[in-house]
Amino acid sequence: MSSFEYPGEYYEVIRKDFRDLAAETEFLASYLPPGGRVLDIGSGTGSNLRALAALGHPGTGLDQSEAFTAYAITAADPGSAATAYVHTRAEEFTTDDRFDLVYSLFSTLNQLSRAELRQLLTTVLGWLAPGGHVVIDIGHLLNFVDGYQPNIIAHHQGDDLLVTRLARQSVHAHRAVWRNEETIIARDGEGRVSMYANFFDQTVFTAPEVRDLLVDAGFEVVAEYGGFRKEPGPRIGRGPLLFVARAAADAQEAAA
Ligand SMILES: C[S@@+](CC[C@H](N)C(=O)[O-])C[C@H]1O[C@@H](n2cnc3c(N)ncnc32)[C@H](O)[C@@H]1O
């Protein structure tokens, strides 16, 4: 079974303990013209797309998780801008649409191999509308090293719901891959308990490697941040890493 196949409402409870959705929304919206279209690669339960749709940004989300895609479709607000959710692996997605912003958050792209990411970035360049941007929030080597915990037990409290993560991490040093094996245990208000297995490997990129992959794919990196409040990138490379890029051809045109 592929990973992230458990009820979306449990993921949403876990997500809010890790992420600042308001900061993410403000950050993403700052790269969008009014009504600008977005594409979310690995849209999960649709948290970011729902927030952007509420601001009037229509878009598309794609995700390999059937459970999360189903949740995102049900949770969409019919009063907001239209959002389509597609159940697919990013590497297999095709579209004739063009987007003002293509983004991928919460280390989703770490779930691709180096070769897959290289190919995907080239494809993404072709999905950008003129003047469009790409935002990548990616885990890099020092994040993985700093965050390494072989065993984690974490409780995440929702409304009338307790979600417990039992996580085991291990490192495949020769392939620079971080292996995550999670057991998700949910207890609802009536005392019902359910349990799910979640397994995923993450490629450990270095920051210069991601920069090079973007440039090789035809992008110009316009900014690097250490967080969604546009904090400066951490001086010695630790902490979260956000890349903002645009087509190198756009940069040349702007300079001409
Ligand atoms: C950590 S979650 C992040 C979800 C969402 N971006 C967020 O911020 O909540 C990673 C997501 O990436 C999806 N994913 C992993 N590999 C993928 C791939 N190759 N193509 C599409 N989705 C993928 C998983 O199904 C999962 O929903």
In the chain, % of residues over pLDDT 70? 97
Cα 58 to Cα 123: distance, rounded to the nearest angstrom: 21
pLDDT, tens digit, for every residue of 130-172?
999 999 999 988 888 888 899 999 999 999 999 999 999 999 8
Which residue, among 106, 54, 107, has the nearest Cα to 83 in the 3D structure?
Answer: 54
Q: Which domain holds residue 151?
A: 143-203
> Do 130 and 177 fall into the same domain?
no
Say if residue 32 is in the same domain as residue 80: yes
Name the residue with the closest Cα to ligand 1, atom 25.
Answer: 65
The pLDDT assigned to 192 comes to 96
Q: What residues pair up with 26 in beta bridges, in sequence order?
A: none
> Does 105 lie in the same domain as 227?
yes
Residue 1 lies in a domain: no
More confident: 87 or 256: 87
State which ligand 1 atom lies nearest to the alpha carbon of 104.
6
Check pocket membership of 7 for ligand 1, CB cut-off 6 A: no
What mean pLDDT, rounded, does the chain reach? Answer: 94
CATH code of 154's domain: 2.20.25.110
| Residues 84 and 53 placed together within one structural domain of the fold | yes
Residues 153, 87: one domain?
no
- Spatial CA neighbour of 49 closest among 33, 66, 68, 72: 72
Answer yes or no: are the C-beta atoms of 125 and 218 closer than 8 Å.
yes
Residues 106 and 171 in one domain: no
Distance 106 CA to ligand 1 centre (A): 8
Is 221 found in the same domain as 236? yes
Whether residue 135 is found in the same domain as residue 165: no
In angstroms, rounded to a whole number, what is the distance separating the alpha carbons of residues 88 and 252? 34
User: Distance, CA 98 to ligand 1 centroid (Å)?
Assistant: 21
Q: Of 159, 188, 203, at which residue does a domain stop?
A: 203
pLDDT of 173-205, one tens digit each?
A: 788 899 999 999 999 999 999 999 999 999 999
Whether residue 177 sits in one domain with residue 81: no
Does ligand 1 come within 6 angstroms of the Cβ of 69? Answer: no
Residues 126 and 182 in one domain: no
Report the separation in Å between the CA atom of 255 and the middle of ligand 1, taken as the mean of its atom positions. Answer: 36
CATH number where 233 lies: 3.40.50.150
Exposure string of 83-112, with b = 16+ CB inside 10 Å and e = fewer, is bebebeebeebeeeeebbbbbbbbbbbbbb
The pLDDT of residue 237 is 61
**What does the pLDDT look like over 197-230, one tens digit per residue?**
999 999 999 889 999 999 999 999 999 999 999 9
Q: How far is the CA of 195 from the centre of ligand 1 (A)?
A: 20
**Residues 167 and 84 occupy one common structural domain:** no
Averaged pLDDT, 2-16 = 95
Instruction: Please work out whether the CB of residue 11 comes within 6 Å of at least one atom of ligand 1.
Output: no
Is 237 part of a structural domain of the chain?
yes
Residue 3 forms part of a structural domain: no
Q: Which contiguous run of DSSP H or E holds residue 172?
A: strand 161-172
Domain boundary among 184, 203, 222: 203
68 lines ligand 1 (CB under 6 A): yes
Q: Is the CB of residue 106 below 6 angstroms from any atom belonging to ligand 1? A: yes
Confidence label for 238 from pLDDT (cuts 50, 70 and 90)? low
Closest residue by Cα to atom 26, ligand 1, is 44
Angle at 58 between CA 55 and CA 64, to 5 degrees: 115
Question: Is the distance from CB of 75 to CB of 165 less than 8 angstroms?
Answer: no
Which of 108, 156, 228 has most ligand 1 atoms within 8 Å of CB, for mutation? Answer: 108
Residues 151 and 225 in one domain: no
Please count the structural domains in the chain.
Answer: 2
215 within domain boundaries: yes
Q: Is 51 among the domain residues?
A: yes
Least confident of 69-73, 96-100, 103-107, 202-206: 202-206
Q: Say if 68 falls within a structural domain.
A: yes
2 domain-assigned: no
Counting residues of the chain whose pLDDT is more than 90, the rounded percentage is 84
Query: How many angstroms is it from 109 CA to the middle of ligand 1?
Result: 8
The answer to whether residue 44 sits within a structural domain is yes
Atom of ligand 1 nearest to the CA of 116: 19
How far is ligand 1, taken at its centre, from the CA of residue 108, in Å?
5
Which of residues 203, 218, 247 is at a domain's end?
203
